[in-house]
Structure 1
Amino acid sequence: MAHFREKNGSWEYIISAGKDPITNRYTKIRKSGFRTKTAAKNEARRIEEELKQGIYVKESLTTFGDFFQQWLTHYEKRAKISSVRARRIAGKRLIDDWEHYPLSRITMAMYQERLDKLSTQFSVNYLDSIHTTGRMVFNHAQKLKLIKFNPTEHYEKPRMVKDEVNEEETPLENFLDRDELMEFLLLTKESGLPGDLLLFTTLAYSGLRIGELVSLKESDIDFKTNEVNVNKTYYNPKNSIKEFKLLTPKTRGSVRKFELDPFVIQLLKEHIKQHKEVKMKNRRVYKDQGFIFADAQGYPPTVKKVAIRLQRLMKMMKTDKHITPHSFRHTNISLLIEANVPIGEIQRRAGHTDITTTMNIYTHMTKHTKSQASDLFSSHLSEMTKKLQ
């Protein structure tokens, strides 16, 4: 039976909850702050009914940060190391906001708001990972009867705004085959604007995304090993030359290292050497941020500017193909396929997290490669075929 008392102008209830099975001590449930005795009685009656039905939950004041570490220790004994690492990384996005906040006071509205905010910063897959982690944590808390309501219930996935180009968005037939690429680069050498040959040759020979290319810095190239270190991407939705951001690639697969062709390395060396004169000439206004593809003030070109310069050259080439800066990525992959580079290595160089993306492009090989594959197969089985004829 509940007892009530007035304290400092408000009412408090005290309910005997019986013996704690763990401590073997009698426990009491108390709560104060009610404006009237009637309000305290109504709440006490509800608690007593929950105790009677065995569904009462004494919500914990443990912070989210502390409970997350407890849950992670529990999870480590039941999951692979790689899974634990993924949950720890994803959980940090929730800890950043709620580390010192009581676990039981996180509401559905707070959870939805937090993930809506994260959806503007991270990829679809990463947001799913964060939500999966959050759901596992709060499900465990509910199982232990530390929270009464699970804030992850009724979560609605926000519409994602993609910052990255979807590999499917560029029609696969709109890339240059080997002969067309040669024609284009020769045209660029003869009629391109300063820097065009280096820019488009590097795109075609490396398969970099345009954002990865323009964000390259001298420190990203190891001229001893000819390796390029891809670790960031360029983001500039307003196409303002000075208002850009360098973002971490959205997927782990996008962060990668691979060797560049010696011809491209030589072009880069010559460009860097020549660009030192530009820096010196414009030293009063030049903001040296280490970018390889920089203008006279040290800023990298916008994606729109690269697209305009490309279209200028494509008009001279007189082709029906709609070629964009991203098309060179498919061009590079098709050439790697023609060169019989293993599919796994193509995936690594391209930075495809999901090999399905690589395979989709693989199935759209050039006519030459398809014909070559048929000839090789026929030749390999020629002896068997003769016996069967």
Structure 2
Amino acid sequence: MLGSFRRRGCTCKKKRCTCGSKWTYRYHIIDPKTGKRKQKETRGFDTKEEAEAEAKRILAELQNGTYIEEKDITFNQFAEEWILIYEKSGKVKQSTLDIRKAKLKHLENFFGQIKLKEITKLMYQQFLNELAEKYARKTVASAHEVGSMIFKKAVELEIISKDITEYAEIPRKMQTVDDLEKQEELPRYLEKDELKRFLEAAKYSIRPIDYPAFLTLAYTGLRVGELCALKWRDIDFDEQTISITKTLYNRKNKSGAHELQTPKTKSSRRIIDVDKSVLDVLDRHKNQQKIVSMDDRENDFIFADENGQPITTYYIWRRMVALLKEAGIKHHLSPHSLRHTHTSLLAEAGVSLEVIQHRLGHQDDKITRSIYLHVTKPKKKEASQKFAELMGGI
């Protein structure tokens, strides 16, 4: 026997209700704590057939011993539990945790006090659809990733019986012709003469740290967090190399409120060659640090403030805006643009894509590849023309 079915508050008495009433399925289970039978019900079905289909599923699970009694816990209550489990796993960087918490707020605002077991696939898809109307697809995908982690953990802990996020789709906006025409194929970066002007402005800056910091960024392609985390022990002046083994994370962009983290990816940990001219500038910067140090000790961080704390990524961003203005460069660029600049100039110099990718610390990157192909395209045409000239025509 499947149990009993009823339609709550129906006034129209039709097979497919038109008055908004829903079908409910009642059944009995054995309480594992007391060993006694107790009544359960699942509700919210538009038709009796839908209720019967759910009843068959529940009956099969009861017979197979796979039935899970879903708990009466709201989304917000379980989300609070989940973030604690996630945080204490020991596998998560603080920066990742902060991103997860930020995206979790979108889910909490939508589902709030709704019981976890009452959230349907349709409701979850509606959440993604509404989020996509306000935010970029990357934000929606990140929020979905958090949602998926939460519901999977709830299934694992037997709070609910199924993961309703499994087949959800992240909405994709259809691009118009106008969108494609306005879309920039490549990110902005500095041309060679612009980079010279920018570094010239940094060289004569009233802040002594500007020139060595931006020269290093431009000549190595380091990420800003990698630059700020550099210590003197990371530089081998004899071998003329820099070891990248860590990155700096500032939770509130305040000096002293930092955390050294492992590199972004496995390929981010690397040793790169550095030109002697850059090392000479860094060596002078090192000597200057010894002079200004009150206790005559060598400051461990290469780029540090007066208290010996590493400069923040926000400081680098702020100084770049000021120096671009000083150099008369009107592009709206970020420090990350210097990685793109490094890519373009290396490609122009004939360095292979594989070597560039190693210097930048990633195995493959769409933007890096697109810049490389853009810069080397004329050389490829030149190669075909030279071959034709060599053959002297057909």
Tell me the TM-score normalised to structure 1 length: 0.58
Amino acid corresponding to residue 320 of structure 1 in structure 2: K
Q: CA deviation at 1:271?
A: 1.8
1:237-248 alignment runs, 5 A limit: 237-248=251-262
Residue in 1 that maps onto 2:343: 333
- Asked whether the 8 Å contact 2:148–2:165 carries over to 1, the reply is no
Deviations 1:136-194 (A, max 9, x none): 9999x9xxxx989656454699x9xxxxxxxxx99945322222222332343344531
User: Is 1:302 aligned to residue 312 of structure 2?
Assistant: yes
Amino acid corresponding to residue 282 of structure 2 in structure 1: L
Given the superposition, is the C-alpha separation of residues 174 and 225 from structure 1 closer, same or farther in structure 2, using an over 3 Å criterion? same
**How far, CA to CA, are the matches of 1:347 and 1:179 in structure 2?**
24
**How far, CA to CA, are the matches of 1:268 and 1:51 in structure 2?**
69
**How far, CA to CA, are the matches of 1:245 and 1:52 in structure 2?**
53
Residue in 2 that maps onto 1:376: 383
Given the superposition, is the C-alpha separation of residues 354 and 130 from structure 1 closer, same or farther in structure 2, using an over 3 Å criterion? farther
1:35-184 alignment runs, 5 A limit: 40-42=36-38, 56-58=63-65, 114=82, 117=86, 120=97, 150=161, 152-154=163-165, 172=186, 174-184=188-198
- Matched positions, count: 294
User: Is 1:314 aligned to residue 324 of structure 2?
Assistant: yes
**How far, CA to CA, are the matches of 1:59 and 1:278 in structure 2?**
70
**How far, CA to CA, are the matches of 2:373 and 2:99 in structure 1?**
30
User: Is 1:354 aligned to residue 322 of structure 2?
Assistant: no
**How far, CA to CA, are the matches of 2:57 and 2:332 in structure 1?**
68
Q: CA deviation at 1:269?
A: 2.2
- Asked whether the 8 Å contact 2:152–2:163 carries over to 1, the reply is no
Amino acid corresponding to residue 114 of structure 1 in structure 2: W
Name the SS of the counterpart of 1:245 in structure 2.
strand
Given the superposition, is the C-alpha separation of residues 364 and 57 from structure 1 closer, same or farther in structure 2, using an over 3 Å criterion? same
Residue in 2 that maps onto 1:218: 232
User: Is 1:256 aligned to residue 270 of structure 2?
Assistant: yes
Given the superposition, is the C-alpha separation of residues 127 and 321 from structure 1 closer, same or farther in structure 2, using an over 3 Å criterion? closer
Residue in 2 that maps onto 1:195: 209
**How far, CA to CA, are the matches of 2:62 and 2:275 in structure 1?**
68
Name the SS of the counterpart of 2:287 in structure 1.
helix
**How far, CA to CA, are the matches of 2:193 and 2:57 in structure 1?**
78
Q: CA deviation at 1:332?
A: 0.6
Deviations 1:349-374 (A, max 9, x none): 11234332321322442xxx544443
Gaps of 5+ in 1: 1-28, 35-39, 44-48, 61-103, 160-168
Tell me the TM-score normalised to structure 2 length: 0.58
Deviations 1:290-339 (A, max 9, x none): 21001221012222322333333322321232232222111111111112
Given the superposition, is the C-alpha separation of residues 57 and 379 from structure 1 closer, same or farther in structure 2, using an over 3 Å criterion? same
Name the SS of the counterpart of 1:293 in structure 2.
coil
Given the superposition, is the C-alpha separation of residues 230 and 193 from structure 1 closer, same or farther in structure 2, using an over 3 Å criterion? same
Amino acid corresponding to residue 294 of structure 1 in structure 2: A
- Asked whether the 8 Å contact 1:115–1:127 carries over to 2, the reply is no
User: Is 1:342 aligned to residue 352 of structure 2?
Assistant: yes
User: What CA RMSD, in Å, does the superposition of the two structures yield over aligned residues?
Assistant: 4.9
Given the superposition, is the C-alpha separation of residues 232 and 130 from structure 1 closer, same or farther in structure 2, using an over 3 Å criterion? farther
Residue in 1 that maps onto 2:393: 387
Given the superposition, is the C-alpha separation of residues 203 and 41 from structure 1 closer, same or farther in structure 2, using an over 3 Å criterion? closer
**How far, CA to CA, are the matches of 2:260 and 2:275 in structure 1?**
25
**How far, CA to CA, are the matches of 2:273 and 2:164 in structure 1?**
47
Residue in 2 that maps onto 1:228: 242
**How far, CA to CA, are the matches of 2:251 and 2:338 in structure 1?**
21
Name the SS of the counterpart of 2:188 in structure 1.
coil
Amino acid corresponding to residue 192 of structure 2 in structure 1: R
Gaps of 5+ in 2: 1-29, 40-55, 88-95, 101-137, 171-182
**How far, CA to CA, are the matches of 2:61 and 2:307 in structure 1?**
71
